[in-house]
Amino acid sequence: MEDDSENYDGIRAHFPVSFGKKTKSKAPVESVHNATRRPSSSTATNDSPSSGNNNNNKDSPFPSLSSSSKSWLNSLKKNPKSTTPTDDELPIGPPRPPPSSDSADGEDDAMIGPPRPVSAEADDDNEEDEPIIGPPRPQARSDSDEDSSDGEQENRHRIPLSNEIVLKGHTKVVSALAIDHSGSRVLSGSYDYTVRMYDFQGMNARLESFRQIEPSEGHQVRNVSWSPSADRFLCVTGSAQAKIYDRDGLTLGEFVKGDMYIRDLKNTKGHITGLTCGEWHPKNRETVLTSSEDGSLRIWDVNDFTTQKQVIKPKLARPGRVPVTTCAWDREGKSIAGGIGDGSIQIWSIKPGWGSRPEIYVANGHSDEITGLKFSSDGRILLSRSFDGSLKVWDLRQMKTALKSFEDLPNHYAQTNVAFSPDEQLLLTGTSVERDSTTGGLLCLFDRQKLELVTKVGISPTCSVVQCVWHPKLNQIFATAGDKHQGGTHVLYDPTLSTRGALVCVARAPRKKSIDDFQAEPVIHNPHALPLFRDQPSRKRQREKMLKDPLKSHKPEAPMNGPGFGGRVGVTKGSLLTQYLLKQGGMIKETWMDEDPREAILKYADVAEKDPKYIAPAYAETQPKTVFAESDSEDEDK
């Protein structure tokens, strides 16, 4: 065995050290999360100008420092000289003798200099013996303690804000977002007419979507919603027909479009104008809800795409068609809320014999169109978001006035929603970028109990935040943003608080291409295989071909001089046949304008009497004799 090992070592020495199969180098997880750390986790709760500056730092390529790194840097600032010796400061020679202790000094040695300060322990012992007069001394706080206390104040709600990744791919603002209940698949719809599907389990650090579909050509995607079992999803676009897809993005069906010429919407089989919103039933796998610009809400059965189950017409202050801008189910699927274009909020309870009359009607819920509605799980609170730049909190037991109205939340997109945190203690909504504003798109979080602003999180300095979702299982916040030229889904997470989701894919490096992945594309030399791929013939070949044709290459005949012969008309009487006939005078002359109509009819009287052809023979025996009035010369003179 020893001889074999020696032979192996001898042979191995002839090869370089890098020869052989290398182990795959794995980047440490901490370095991966440091690369995705946000420069500023949140802005101040007050609307201070510093919040805009924090958002502008997002473009910095360097990750921000953690609390432990900050405390280390602060200690370096306080102690400029490092306690760790460098290579130049290493001791040379024998070590120095230890300093003599106080016990080794003689009692007769005189003390030189001021007395040493009393240690903290001795001071504490003295304080215990002496009575304390006045209030106790405040405890000394270091900078690291202040930083940690600030972090605890910000994170008392356990908001995952430390890290961020962006799911890119869209070319315009992302207006629709849906995450399945397990948190493994994400759907994002955009104004670029496409829906992208992301899978955290199969995605690597490049964060690319595995499928892209275009539900309706030329129509914006306005909402997507997963079924309760997450095996299908509903896609709502700007067209009048919603579509159902399976989990892998294959089309299962498309709902029918109604007859636009029928005035009563209850008699149509489907929506007649563009859809605005749609949501799957939270409990029933076979029922979906859609709203449309035609002023109706419809409940569908996904097993029957030809007609709807129920048509709901909202209550209007004056007759007409007002669009239904948004709709929502409650947690149990027993109530439906609809946001109307006139700013009213209407809620219907699904029970036997229910109709279009709403159970709750708030006439002036908002001063503009409503963009988002959300029920709480206990069925007591309703949130509403509107174009008027406000977020209102409603108590369903008392809907006359709102519990709280949060203002100064600009909103320019009809899909801006509002959401709850997993424990429903926080409210989330996004803001749009205004023309003269410098704050950018923000994600605002409010406390449900205190009804006050908790924090504002800067998502993008130039893009508006439209949709937001806080997933309960992943404990990660999804926020969609974009403008006319770009769009993406921002995922906020914390490695210590979040699970799976972004943590799975961000640490998975993309697979390197090997020689086995190379595949040469074969070049097939088969010209003129199909007419589509044939080269157009050159003009020279076309001219040569035309010269060989006796008809196309025939020289035009010159005009004839003289009266003409051989059936051809000469120039003297006109080069064209029509000119020749007109010059002849009577061949195509129309004479009916110069004739007397009475005489023109009477000239055929003798012929009709002698040789009747059509009607006259049938009445030959019973028809009286025709008598024509004779013209008198006296009458003509008059």
Token duo for residue 459: 């998502």
Token duo for residue 88: 């130049």
Local structure of 73: helix, strand or coil = helix
Give the count of beta carbons closer than 10 Å to the beta carbon of residue 48: 12
pLDDT above 50 for 58: no
In the numeric block, the tokens 């129920």 are attached to: 310
Alpha carbons 33 and 27: distance in angstroms, whole number = 11
> What pLDDT is attached to residue 352?
77
Q: What is the pLDDT of residues 536-577, one digit of tens each?
A: 667 888 888 888 888 888 777 776 776 666 666 666 655 566
Give the count of beta carbons closer than 10 Å to the beta carbon of residue 483: 16
Q: What is the pLDDT of residues 98-146, one digit of tens each?
A: 554 444 444 444 555 556 655 444 444 444 455 556 556 655 545 555 4
pLDDT above 70 for 48: no
C-alpha to C-alpha distances, 363 to 317, 353, 399, 417, 574, nearest whole angstrom:
8, 24, 10, 21, 85
119-128, 142-151, 587-596, 597-606: range with highest mean pLDDT: 597-606
> What pLDDT is attached to residue 68?
47
- Residue count of the chain: 638
Alpha carbons 176 and 468: distance in angstroms, whole number = 9
Three-point CA angle 501, 503, 506, nearest 5°: 110
pTM higher than the cut 0.85: no
Alpha carbons 611 and 309: distance in angstroms, whole number = 77
C-alpha to C-alpha distances, 353 to 290, 310, 349, 481, 627, nearest whole angstrom:
21, 12, 10, 43, 84
> What pLDDT is attached to residue 50?
37
Q: Are 409 and 453 in contact (CB under 8 A)?
A: no
pLDDT above 80 for 434: yes
Local structure of 243: helix, strand or coil = strand
Token duo for residue 159: 């908001």
Lowest mean pLDDT of 105-114, 223-232, 315-324, 480-489, name the range. Answer: 105-114
Q: Are 474 and 499 in contact (CB under 8 A)?
A: yes
Alpha carbons 620 and 158: distance in angstroms, whole number = 113
Alpha carbons 326 and 316: distance in angstroms, whole number = 16
Alpha carbons 207 and 506: distance in angstroms, whole number = 8
Token duo for residue 277: 């919103």
Element (H, E) at 329: strand 324-329
Q: Are 330 and 349 in contact (CB under 8 A)?
A: no
Alpha carbons 330 and 373: distance in angstroms, whole number = 10
Phi, psi of 516 (to 5 degrees): -70, -20
Q: What is the pLDDT of residues 210-231, one digit of tens each?
A: 899 999 888 999 999 999 999 9
Of 160, 215, 234, nearest in space to 492 by CA: 160
The dihedral through the CA atoms of 391, 395, 399, 401 has a sign that is negative
Alpha carbons 427 and 451: distance in angstroms, whole number = 9
Q: What is the 3-state secondary structure (H, E, C) of 342-372?
A: CCCEEEEECCCCCCCCCCEEECCCCCCCEEE
Q: What is the mean pLDDT of the chain?
A: 77
